Amino acid sequence: MRATVMYGAGDVRVETVPDPVLRERTDAIVRVVQSCICGSDLWPYGSMPATGQGRRMGHEFLGIVEDTGADVAGLARGDLVVAPFVWADNTCDFCRQGLHTSCRHGGGWGSPGVDAGQGEAVRVPQAQGTLVTLPVAPDSALLPSLLTLSDVFCTGHHAAVTAGVSARTTVTVVGDGAVGLSAVLAAKRLGAERIILMGRHKDRTDLGREFGATDVVEQRGDQGVALVRELTGGDGTHTVLECVGTQDAIDMSIGIVRDGGAIGRVGAAQYTHVPLGFDTIMRNVTVTGGVAPARAYIEQLLPDVLEGRIEPGRVFDRTIGLDDVPDGYRAMAGREALKVLIRP
Amino acid sequence: MRATVMYGAGDVRVETVPDPVLRERTDAIVRVVQSCICGSDLWPYGSMPATGQGRRMGHEFLGIVEDTGADVAGLARGDLVVAPFVWADNTCDFCRQGLHTSCRHGGGWGSPGVDAGQGEAVRVPQAQGTLVTLPVAPDSALLPSLLTLSDVFCTGHHAAVTAGVSARTTVTVVGDGAVGLSAVLAAKRLGAERIILMGRHKDRTDLGREFGATDVVEQRGDQGVALVRELTGGDGTHTVLECVGTQDAIDMSIGIVRDGGAIGRVGAAQYTHVPLGFDTIMRNVTVTGGVAPARAYIEQLLPDVLEGRIEPGRVFDRTIGLDDVPDGYRAMAGREALKVLIRP
C-alpha cells in the first residue's frame, strides 16, 4: 500500500510500504476513507533531523474495517469507524478515569512497527478499545466533522473541559489555527457567552466568529495581554485555552488569566518552562490540560455532530489525494491552508 | 502598644507603636489573645534588605473585639474572633466565589497604614467581612487549633482541595514544616488513605504520622522522586501538595505526580519558573493551588476543631510572650521550633 513517510524537515514522501496484516488477536485492519494533516505534524516538518529510516505520519483517520483479530468483539467487516489519535485498551485504570492517552497498553500511531493515518490502510492495535463505530454511510457529508473527533475537535474540547469552561466563565482562546477554532466551538458548545479569540489571520478569525467568538484580538505579547484585560474590566478571563504551544503563547496566557482562573493548554509545548512564580501563587492561577484523551470524548460529542448542531469539519479548507500529501504539508506550513483533508 | 517590626534580614524588634484607632466605619479594633510566626515570615527574615522604616509583622491572630465602626454588624465588644490572613469584604465577586485573597476591597496585614498580627492589638479593616466569631471562652484549650484557621491549617487544606484530594486519590506532601503537616492532616480529613510525607526531621515526620501520613520519604531530588514512584508501583501519586516553595520542591513535585494528576502548591514560591514542558503535556499534569483564601474555609473547618475531631494546633511546639518574638524568629529559622505561638 501507499503511505506517508517523513525523512526530515521539509522532506515528506508518499511511498509503497508493506500492506498491514493482523499480528495480534486484538488487532483490526482499517481501510482509510479520510485522514488529515495535523498542526502538530508541522513541528517535525519544520525541525526533524534527516534520517534514513523515516517516520510514518498521521494520527487522525476514519475508515472501514476490513478484518479483525480473534479477540476483537463489537466490530465487523464493513463498519465505518473513527480512530482517536492514540490507541488504547479502554479498560485499564487510566482509561477508566478517561485518560486514554496514558493507557497501560496503548501507544501512538507511527511508532515503531505501527502504521499511521496518512496512508491507505492501518493495522489498529487494541482495536476493540480504540475504534468507535460511526452510524453513517461512508459517503456521508458528515465525514469531515466526524474526522475531527479523532483529534482536533476533541483537543479543543479538552482545553475547554480541563479549564472549566461553562456558562459562568469568560474565555480567551490563544491561537487561530484549527485547534484554536475548535476550542472556540467547544467553549460555545459548553455555554460560554464571552469568547475572545486571539489571532491575526482574518479568514480564520472570521470562521472563529461563526464558531462563537465574540471578540477578536490581533495583538500579541504584552499588548495582547493589555487588550484582553481592557476588554474584561482589567480582570482577564476565567479561562484561557492555549492552542499554540510556543513560549510566547503560554507566557501570554499567564498574563491573561483572571485571579482564580485556569489555563487549559493543548498546544504541543515547544517551551520547557512556564512562568509560574510568586505572583501566580498570589493570583491562584491554575495550569491544566495536556494531550487530549479523544477516546474519552468521542461518544459524548458524537450526537451533536450527527444531528448537525456543530460542524467542526469546517476547519478543513482543502482536500487532496494521497499523492498530494507533500503539497498539503507545504500549504499548511505556509499558512495557505488551515487544515488539509486527505482522501487516499 | 507594643508590636513586632522587621528592619531587615535577622533584625526583628518589638517596639512601641501607635495604639490602633477606628479610621473607617468598617473597621474594628481587636485586642490580640494569640498570634504566631509563619514559615513565610522566615523568607524576609532571611533576605529582607535593611530599611529604616521597618515592616510590621504577623498575619495570623485571634483576639477580642474592643470596638467596632458604625457600619460593622454582627460583631460586638467582647466577642472572640479569628482573622484570616488577608482582610476582605466577603461580598465582592471574588469573595463570593471563595477567592477572598483577591478581594476587590481587601489587603494584607502590615501593609502601609495597617497593623499586623504580632502585636498587642490590631485595627481590622472590613471587619464584618473579615472576622469570624469563635463560640469558645478566651481561655479555651482549643485556641491554638482555632488560631491555625487564620492561615496554616487553611493553607494545607487549600493545597488538598485544589489538588482534588479525596478517598480515591493517593497523596504526596512535600515538606514537613507546619504547612506540610497541616496538609497531611487536611488530606486525611478529606478521606485520603495513602499519604506519603517527604521530610527529614524525625520529630516533625512523627507528628505527620500521627496526623495521617502512611509513609515517610527522607530523600530529596531525583532520589526522592524515584522512591515515591517505587512506593506507588511506578505511577506517582494522584495529588502532590507542595508546601515548601523552593525550586527543588516544585521540580520534585512535577516528577512525583501521576499522569492526569494535580499539584496543589501553597509554598511561597521562591522560584520563577516551573518545568512544564512537552512531557507534562503528554502526562496531563495540572499545577494548581496558590495563596489560601482562609476566610472561605473557616466556617467549614470550625466544627471539626470545636468538636475535637482534628487538632491542627499540635503544630505549635513553643509558646512565647511578645518580648520574646525575636528569639521566636531565631528558633524557627534555626529549626529549633516548628511553629511558635505568641501570647502578647
Q: What is the pLDDT of residues B200-250, one digit of tens each?
A: 999 999 999 999 999 999 999 999 999 999 999 999 999 999 999 999 999
Q: Determine the pLDDT at residue B2.
A: 98
Kindly give the parts of chain A with pLDDT less than 70: none
Q: Determine the pLDDT at residue B161.
A: 98
3-class DSSP state of A99? coil
Same domain, A189 and A316: no
How many Å lie between the alpha carbon of B342 and the closest alpha carbon of chain A?
26
Distance CA B243, CA B230 (A): 22
Q: Determine the pLDDT at residue A145.
A: 98
Same domain, A190 and A278: yes
Q: Determine the pLDDT at residue A177.
A: 97
Cβ–Cβ contact A247 with B under 8 A: no
Q: Phi/psi zone of residue B213: left (φ > 0), alpha (ψ -120 to 50 degrees), beta?
A: beta
Same domain, B266 and B311: no
Residue of B nearest to A269 (CA): B278
Check B284 against A273: CB less than 8 A apart.
no
Name chain A contacts of B232, Cβ cutoff 8 Å. Answer: none
What ipTM is given for this predicted complex? 0.96
Distance CA A259, CA B92 (A): 13
Residue that the C-alpha cell 499539584 belongs to? B263
Distance CA B269, CA B279 (A): 22
For chain B, the distance separating the N- and C-terminal CA atoms, rounded to the nearest angstrom, is 10
Domain end, chosen from A289, A309, A328, is at: A289
Same domain, B163 and B253: yes
Q: What is the DSSP string of B115-149?
A: --SSBSEEEETTHHHH-EE--S-TT-TTHHHHHGG
Cβ–Cβ contact B42 with A under 8 A: no
Residue of A nearest to B287 (CA): A287
Check B291 against A271: CB less than 8 A apart.
no
Q: Determine the pLDDT at residue A203.
A: 96
Q: Mutating which of B166, B241, B276, B297 best tests the A interface, going by the most A Cβ atoms within 10 A? A: B276
Q: Determine the pLDDT at residue A39.
A: 92
Distance CA B201, CA B176 (A): 7
Q: Is A160:A183 a contact under the CB 8 Å cutoff?
A: yes
SS3 content of chain B, % helix, strand, coil (to 5): 35, 25, 40
DSSP state of A37: -
Check B287 against A283: CB less than 8 A apart.
no
Burial zone of A327 (CB within 10 Å; 0-12 exposed, 13-18 middle, 19+ buried) = middle
Residue of A nearest to B276 (CA): A273
Helix axes A152-163, A178-189, angle to 10 degrees: 50
Distance CA A330, CA B34 (A): 70
CATH number at residue B109: 3.90.180.10
| Count of beta carbons in the 10 Å neighbourhood of residue B37 | 30
- Mean pLDDT, chain B, rounded, equals 97
How many Å lie between the alpha carbon of B59 and the closest alpha carbon of chain A?
15
Same domain, B147 and B158: no
Distance of CA A276 to the CA centre of its chain: 26
Same domain, B120 and B45: yes
- Beta-carbon pairs below 8 A across chains A and B: 112
Task: Using only the alpha carbons of chain B, give its radius of gyration.
Answer: 20
Check A284 against B290: CB less than 8 A apart.
yes
- Residues 6 or more apart whose Cβ sits within 8 Å of residue A279: none
Check B287 against A286: CB less than 8 A apart.
yes
* Count of domains observed in chain A: 2
Residue that the C-alpha cell 476550542 belongs to? A183
Same domain, B86 and B109: yes
Distance CA B240, CA B265 (A): 8
Q: Determine the pLDDT at residue A115.
A: 97
Q: Determine the pLDDT at residue A154.
A: 98
Which of A97, A270, A286 comes nearest B260 by C-beta?
A: A97
Q: Determine the pLDDT at residue B218.
A: 98
| Count of beta carbons in the 10 Å neighbourhood of residue B150 | 28
Domain end, chosen from A253, A274, A289, is at: A289
Check B290 against A285: CB less than 8 A apart.
yes
Cβ–Cβ contact A275 with B under 8 A: yes
Residue that the C-alpha cell 526522592 belongs to? B224
User: Using 50, 70 and 90 to split pLDDT, how confident is the model at B296?
Assistant: very high
Distance CA A79, CA B117 (A): 70
Check B273 against A271: CB less than 8 A apart.
no
**Buried residues in A129-160 as b, exposed as e (16+ CB within 10 A):** bbbbebeeeeeeebbbbbbbbbbbbbbbbbbb
Q: Determine the pLDDT at residue B259.
A: 98
Distance CA B328, CA B64 (A): 24
Same domain, B204 and B318: no
Cβ–Cβ contact B165 with A under 8 A: no
Check B284 against A291: CB less than 8 A apart.
yes
pLDDT digits (tens, 9 = 90+) for A19-62: 999 999 999 999 999 999 999 999 999 999 999 999 999 999 99
Distance CA A80, CA A138 (A): 7
Check A282 against B291: CB less than 8 A apart.
yes
Same domain, A146 and A229: no
User: Using 50, 70 and 90 to split pLDDT, how confident is the model at B35?
Assistant: very high
Considering only residues 306 to 335 of chain A, which have any Cβ-Cβ distance to chain B shorter than 8 Å?
A: none
User: Using 50, 70 and 90 to split pLDDT, how confident is the model at B27?
Assistant: very high
Distance CA B265, CA B155 (A): 10
- Residues 6 or more apart whose Cβ sits within 8 Å of residue B129: B87, B88, B89, B90, B91, B95, B103, B295
Handedness of CA B224, B229, B230, B232 (dihedral sign): positive
Same domain, B87 and B186: no
3-class DSSP state of A123? strand
Same domain, A130 and A160: no
Q: Is B263:B285 a contact under the CB 8 Å cutoff?
A: yes
Domain end, chosen from A268, A289, A310, is at: A289
pLDDT digits (tens, 9 = 90+) for A134-165: 999 999 999 999 999 999 999 999 999 999 99
Cβ–Cβ contact B302 with A under 8 A: no
Check A260 against B284: CB less than 8 A apart.
no
Check B275 against A276: CB less than 8 A apart.
no
CATH number at residue A168: 3.40.50.720
Check B272 against A277: CB less than 8 A apart.
yes
Q: Determine the pLDDT at residue B258.
A: 98
Percent of chain B with pLDDT over 90: 99
In this structure, chain A runs to a length of: 344
| Count of beta carbons in the 10 Å neighbourhood of residue A47 | 11
State the DSSP H helix or E strand holding residue A195, giving kind and residue range, or none if neither: strand A195-198
Which residues span the domain enclosing B179?
A: 153-289
Instruction: Tell me the mean pLDDT in the region B294-302.
Output: 98
pLDDT digits (tens, 9 = 90+) for B83-112: 999 999 999 999 999 999 999 999 999 999
Same domain, A270 and A174: yes
Distance CA A44, CA A61 (A): 19
Nearest to B196 by CA among B234, B170, B166, B169: B170
